[in-house]
Amino acid sequence: MLAVYASTGLALLGSWLWYEPGHELWQALDEHTFRCLNGSLAEPGLWQTFWALANSRLADALPAALLLLPFAHWMAADERRHWRARAGIGVTLALFTLLWNQQIVKPWLDRGRWSPTLALPDPVRLEQEPTVAWVPWVKDHAEHSFPGDHAGVFILVTLVIGHVCGWRRAWPALVALPFLMLPRLFGGGHWLSDQIVGGGFVGLVGAALFLGLLRLGQGFRERRAAAA
């Protein structure tokens, strides 16, 4: 399964970065998706207000809760007999995710790509709409939109939770993933390819690497215990 994650992530990246017909297709899908979704926010009303709220940084608490709560439940399971080891995995995962996303992938793939609200003419900028000016910390643009790191981190941690903590703890996050990607697409903070290609690469390849390293560490400890 780890090989499937890694190869899928690399194939997604290759379709955008190295395969010219695929890149042109992604560009067409990017612009069409943005025009359809963002264009629906032109008129003030409940629809516009809903997506302004969904694009507030305060709304980031929802995906965080979908990841932290099942992991905390796993730590507390089995009468907390294994909570120290499980907490160690959590800390290691957090450090790995930060290193992988910010220190490895971002410097490699970040080419200063502007989000559609900055790159295309006449977008609906939610943070500039007077009827939703009361919504705090609305994110509707980015000067470095690729890869979609929020989507990537969410995919990475969700897959790790599924393999390490059990899929019954991970399935709510898996079901929610497509919906959690929508706010930045409606608001224009990311292109579709930022989320699917960039986020998919960060999440799938990152999960394969972390789970592979975790298995190597567990195997080493088991061999050491057997030798002792």
Within 8 A by CB and 6+ apart from 55, the residues are: 126, 138, 139, 140, 183, 184, 186, 187, 189
Both structure tokens of 89: 């995995």
pTM (2 d.p.): 0.92
Both structure tokens of 197: 């290609």
Query: pLDDT tens digit string along 21-59?
Result: 888 999 999 999 999 999 999 999 999 999 999 999 999
**What's the Rg (C-alpha) of the chain?**
19
Q: Which one-letter DSSP state was computed for residue 56?
A: B
CA distances from 180 to 101, 120, 221 (A): 19, 23, 38
Q: Per mean pLDDT, which range of 108-112, 129-133, 137-141, 193-197 is the poorest? A: 108-112
Question: What's the average model confidence in pLDDT over 106-135?
Answer: 93
Question: Which carries the bigger pLDDT value, residue 78 or residue 191?
Answer: 191
Q: Which one-letter DSSP state was computed for residue 88?
A: H
Question: What's the average model confidence in pLDDT over 163-185?
Answer: 92
3 state SS of 138: strand
Question: What's the average model confidence in pLDDT over 167-176?
Answer: 92
3 state SS of 126: helix
